[in-house]
Chains A and B, each alone.
Chain A
C-alpha cells in the first residue's frame, strides 16, 4: 500500500519522497502537513486507522502552531506582546519545551528569531518564496528574546516581551513526530515509523527485520543506516535557501549574530532517544560547526554525522561508520 494525499492547507512544493521500499506486511501512507511531507509506515491492517489518528494530530498541531496561518493560535499570541495571553495546553507545552531547549543549549537554539528571519526575506511560507528577493539593509541582530518570555503554569499564560515573536521551527515538527508515535503506541498500532520531512522516530521493528534501514542524505549519494530504535533528524541548507539581493540566504540562523550560519557544512544528522532532541541537537551542531558541534554531541551522548558542502564527512560515535556504504 502506498498512497499520497494532500492537505489543502499545505499545498507545498515539497519535493516528493523517493520511492523507498515498503517492509513486508506493512503499508505506507503520505500526506502534507506543517509545510512538509509526512510519511507513515504502519502494519498493513491498521494503516487506515493509524493514518487517521496521525493526520488529525498533525492537522491540530499545524492549525495551532503555524506562523504562516494568521488564524493560528501562535499568530494570535505573536500579535499580543507585552500582555499575558492564556493559551491552549498544546501551545503552552510546545512553548515550555522550546524554552527548555533554549536553556539547554545556552541560547543556540532560539525560538525567538522570527523577526530576523523576516528581515532576511523569509516572511511567508517557504513554498511561496520564489525568485530573487529585494535587497535589505538588515545587518543582523542577535537573538535572546526567549530569556524574557514569562510562563505561568497555573493559568497557562504566556507573556511575550515587546518586540519578541515566537517561531518554533523544527522543534514543533519533532515534538509532533514524538506525539504521533505515542498516539500510535497507545492505540496498539505498532510497529510504526513516523517521518516528518526527515525528522523521524520509530517504535518496534518491521516483521522479519532486525532494524529500519534509513537513508541519510549526502552531497551526491546517501548512506543507508540501520536504526533499531530512537529518532533521527537532519538539519541542513540543501533545501531552504534563497537569494536576497545578491546575498545567498538560508533558514539556519546563528542567534549570536542574527545572520545565516557561515559554514562549510551542508547538513548534520543526529540520532537521539526522542525526535525533538535529535532536531534541536542537529540544528545546534550545525550552528557550532564541526569541532564544537562534535563536542556538543559527545557531551550529550548523541550520535551524529557532519556532511560538508565538499562531500567530506565526519561521524560522532556511536554513529555506525562501519555500516556506511
Chain B
C-alpha cells in the first residue's frame, strides 16, 4: 500500500467533500442559529426558533464540563421572593427586639428614679444606711480630694478673727 501521508486520515474520520458556503445555502440546509449564553440566570425564550436545539445543547454542555444547572427565571424569582420575605421578617423581628430593649431601658431608668407610686408622698423617717443604694448615694458622694476626718469637711481648731463671709437664709 502506498504510504501517502496526505491520503492518511489520522483520526479515522470520514472525509467530507468541501462545499462552498453559497451552495450550502442554496441547497436549503437550515442556517444554524448562534447560541448566546448570557451571564446570570437569563433563560432564552423557548418560543424562539432554535429552542429545541438549545434544550438539547444544554445537557451536552453539562455532561462535558460537569457544571451545575443554571436556575430558570421562575426558580430565580421564587428564590428572590423567599429572600425578600426572609428580609422583611428579619427586619420586623430586629426592629421589635430593639424597640423592646429601648422600652425596657426607659422603664429601668424610670423605676430606678421613682419610688413606688402613691397619691400622697410617703415618709418613713430618716434614711437608713442600708437604703443608701436606693437613694442614689446623694449624701454619700463627695469630692475625693476633700475626704477627711469628718467625711469631706473639716472645722478649724481655734477661735478666729473677723469673718470673711457669712451663711444666712437665702
* Residues of A that sit less than 8 Å from B by CB: 17-18, 20-23, 36, 39, 41, 96-97, 99-101, 103-108, 110, 142-144, 146-154, 170, 173, 193, 195-200, 206, 209-217, 222, 224-240, 255-256, 267, 269, 271-274, 277, 280-281, 288, 292, 295-296, 299-303, 318-320, 323, 325
Chain A interface mostly:
mixed
Q: Which residues of chain B from 91 to 138 have any CB-CB distance to chain A below 8 Å in the complex?
A: 105-106, 109-110, 113-115, 117-129, 132, 134-138
Chain A residues with Cβ below 8 Å from B120 are 142, 144, 256
What 8 A-B pairs have minimum CB-CB distances, sorted nearest first?
A: A230-B153, A273-B152, A211-B156, A226-B156, A236-B169, A273-B142, A197-B170, A104-B135
Question: How many residues of chain B are within 8 Å of chain A by beta carbon?
Answer: 54
Chain B residues with Cβ below 8 Å from A100 are 113, 135-138
Chain A residues with Cβ below 8 Å from B136 are 100, 103-104
Contact present for A22 and B164 (CB under 8 Å): yes
Given the known inter-chain contacts A144-B118, A255-B121, A300-B139, please indicate yes or no for A273 contacting B169, CB distance below 8 A.
no
B17 shortest CB reach to chain A, Å: 87
The interface stretch among B1-9, B40-48, B51-59, B143-151 is B143-151
> Is B162 close to A, CB under 8 A?
yes
Given the known inter-chain contacts A99-B113, A199-B167, A238-B169, please indicate yes or no for A296 contacting B155, CB distance below 8 A.
no
A76 shortest CB reach to chain B, Å: 21
Contact present for B127 and A299 (CB under 8 Å): yes
User: How far is it, in angstroms, between the C-alpha of A277 and the C-alpha of B128 when the chains are bound?
Assistant: 16
User: How far is it, in angstroms, between the C-alpha of A209 and the C-alpha of B152 when the chains are bound?
Assistant: 19
User: How far is it, in angstroms, between the C-alpha of A16 and the C-alpha of B72 when the chains are bound?
Assistant: 92
User: How far is it, in angstroms, between the C-alpha of A206 and the C-alpha of B164 when the chains are bound?
Assistant: 10
Contact present for A300 and B127 (CB under 8 Å): yes
Taking a contact as CB atoms closer than 8 A, the residue among A41, A154, A210, A255 that contacts B164 in the complex is A41
Which residue on chain B has the smallest CB distance to residue A294?
B126
> Is B160 close to A, CB under 8 A?
yes
Which residue on chain B has the smallest CB distance to residue A286?
B169
> Is B14 close to A, CB under 8 A?
no
User: How far is it, in angstroms, between the C-alpha of A233 and the C-alpha of B168 when the chains are bound?
Assistant: 8
Which residue on chain B has the smallest CB distance to residue A84?
B106
Contact present for B165 and A200 (CB under 8 Å): yes
User: How far is it, in angstroms, between the C-alpha of A325 and the C-alpha of B158 when the chains are bound?
Assistant: 11
Q: A21-B164, A302-B139, A303-B155 are in contact. List 6 more A-B contacts (CB 8 A).
A: A104-B132, A224-B160, A228-B155, A267-B168, A281-B139, A318-B155
Which residue on chain B has the smallest CB distance to residue A18?
B166
User: How far is it, in angstroms, between the C-alpha of A100 and the C-alpha of B139 when the chains are bound?
Assistant: 10
User: How far is it, in angstroms, between the C-alpha of A15 and the C-alpha of B147 when the chains are bound?
Assistant: 34
> Is B141 close to A, CB under 8 A?
yes
User: How far is it, in angstroms, between the C-alpha of A106 and the C-alpha of B126 when the chains are bound?
Assistant: 8
Which residue on chain A has the smallest CB distance to residue B169?
A236
Contact present for B169 and A239 (CB under 8 Å): yes
Chain A residues with Cβ below 8 Å from B114 are 146-149
User: How far is it, in angstroms, between the C-alpha of A303 and the C-alpha of B165 when the chains are bound?
Assistant: 19
User: How far is it, in angstroms, between the C-alpha of A231 and the C-alpha of B141 when the chains are bound?
Assistant: 13
